[in-house]
Amino acid sequence: MRLLIVEDEKRLATSLARGLSAEGYVVDVAHDGVDGLHLARERDYDLIVLDIMLPGLNGYRVCSQLRADGDETPILMLTAKDGEYDEAEGLDTGADDYLTKPFSYVVLQARIRALLRRRTRAGALVLRIGDLTVDPDARRVERAGTEISLTAREFAVLEHLARHAGQVVSKADILAGVWDFAYDGDPNIVEVYVSVLRRKIDVPFGRRSIRTVRGAGYRLEPGGRDA
């Protein structure tokens, strides 16, 4: 899942991004309201963590403009302010939840999970491709009723393929969807993860569900028996 953090306190933003990335989220960061609004409009996010006191555009205006655009991405607002009127204003502009600084990282994690669960229930986001089930909310993968253990990054790659099941997904698309937008490493890292996924979700079950489309990318299919 991809998150956007819009926070002008760079140390806090870096700390949050590092922690959430370690849990398997793909995290983009903006340090002012203008850049945050631009990213939110340009990319699809599962959740936005949005500070209120931002340079350029404050969080209230970013939130209200996204809602005016018809963007229903869950928004968790952060602020150093404290008071019921601040909370009311944030919620009135369309935020889904509100957290006052200083806050516990554990509480932030819980709020994020709760908002993502709410969206999952509303959008029925459990992904099924043949006998393969990918549950983004529970971070759970099963094939033919057997649970498969994946690392956070392996799960993110599989989830990206599952969300585009039946379609050809290029290496560049996978990099953009699973690694952050600033990634400038070797794109062949995608091949490594696809190879690992095949060993975990296909080989033990005699399946061939991740297909290589030469010169184009990969396609996730229901997967017949491997001959």
DSSP letters along 66-132, please?
A: HHHTT----EEEEES--SHHHHHHHHHTT-SEEEESS--HHHHHHHHHHHHHHHHHHHT--EEETTE
Distance between CA atoms of 77 and 217, rounded to whole angstroms? Answer: 38
Distance between CA atoms of 37 and 31, rounded to whole angstroms? Answer: 11
Q: Which residues of 110-143 are buried (b: 16+ CB within 10 A; e: fewer)?
A: ebbeebbeebbeeeebebebeebbbbbeeeebeb
Confidence band, pLDDT 50/70/90 cuts, at residue 227:
very low
pLDDT score for 80: 74
- Whether the predicted pLDDT of 84 surpasses 50: no
Distance between CA atoms of 47 and 16, rounded to whole angstroms? Answer: 14
The string of pLDDT tens digits covering residues 95-129 is 888 888 888 888 899 889 888 877 655 554 688 89
The string of pLDDT tens digits covering residues 53-69 is 899 999 999 999 999 99
The string of pLDDT tens digits covering residues 7-63 is 999 999 999 998 998 887 889 999 999 999 999 999 889 899 999 989 999 999 999
The string of pLDDT tens digits covering residues 151-172 is 888 998 999 899 889 999 998 8
CA atoms in the 13 A half-sphere facing the CB of 197? 29
> Which pair of structure tokens corresponds to residue 145?
């009723």
Distance between CA atoms of 16 and 41, rounded to whole angstroms? Answer: 22
pLDDT score for 217: 93
CB 75 within 8 A of CB 96: yes
pTM (2 d.p.): 0.64
pLDDT score for 120: 55
Task: Mean pLDDT check: name the lowest of 17-31, 78-92, 188-202.
Answer: 78-92
Q: Angle at the Cα of 124 (from 118 to 125), degrees rounded to 5?
A: 90
Whether cis (ω within 30° of 0) applies to the bond prior to 136 is no
**1 vs 96, more confident:** 96
Distance between CA atoms of 202 and 223, rounded to whole angstroms? Answer: 8
Q: What are the φ and ψ backbone dihedral angles of 171, each rounded to 5 degrees?
A: -60, -40
